[in-house]
A and B are shown apart, each in its own frame.
Chain A
Amino acid sequence: EDKVVQSPLSLVVHEGDTVTLNCSYEVTNFRSLLWYKQEKKAPTFLFMLTSSGIEKKSGRLSSILDKKELFSILNITATQTGDSAIYLCALGRNTGTASKLTFGTGTRLQVTL
């Protein structure tokens, strides 16, 4: 069975700090790893990673995948209070044409002033 483990479960940092969120996984037929940010309701898409070692970057957020060691990290630099959210890692498995995401339980990030 596919497995996604995120760490830490929760984190409290001060504004301006840099944080690293971890996602490790076990899956057969890996296809993609996605990161989402969930504040109130709908998870919003951040990154999709399919290849090892290629960093995806968007503003202060960046992410990278290691398919050999089966993990991904999400970095947030110069954190702001608006970064407070649950960050979800999800695995897309290659099941032919079907789409199915397996989610980790998330990392709850709180950024304080």
Chain B
Amino acid sequence: KAGVTQTPRYLIKTRGQQVTLSCSPISGHRSVSWYQQTPGQGLQFLFEYFSETQRNKGNFPGRFSGRQFSNSRSEMNVSTLELGDSALYLCASSMGSGAADTQYFGPGTRLTVL
């Protein structure tokens, strides 16, 4: 089975712009979770989507949003970018049956905000 894929792999934006990241889960996986990884804060949970619905959300401002499509692919959007949004954004997919699931990670999108 193909693994989790994320596009683009690298992105450079300037402050105030917006960005959309994409994640395609492992075939058959219905849950997609997004995480932000920075050197100072480590891996932090952004949100989780299952069956096109957000069912869990972390402590991030409303500038961070996402959606999921009927084929389970997910997108994450960050509006009005700030310097502090520079990070590695990882998505993870799982079957979606709950917290006993194993989440499998994609390679990440490295976002740099100038």
The 8 Å CB contact of B100, one of A41, A42, A50, A88, is A50
The 8 Å CB contact of B48, one of A34, A44, A88, A100, is A100
Q: How many A-B residue pairs have CB under 8 A?
A: 81
Q: Are A32 and B107 in contact (CB under 8 A)?
A: no
Judged by DSSP, the binding face of B is strand
Size of B's binding interface in residues, CB under 8 A: 30
Q: How far is the CA of A45 from the CA of B31 in the complex (A)?
A: 16
Q: Which of B13-70 contact A (CB under 8 A)?
A: 31, 33, 35, 42-45, 48, 50, 55-56, 58
B80 at the interface (CB under 8 A from A): no
Q: Which of A76-113 contact B (CB under 8 A)?
A: 88, 90, 92-106
The 8 Å CB contact of B55, one of A94, A98, A104, is A98
Mark B residues whose CB is within 8 Å of A.
4, 31, 33, 35, 42-45, 48, 50, 55-56, 58, 88, 90, 92, 94, 96-108
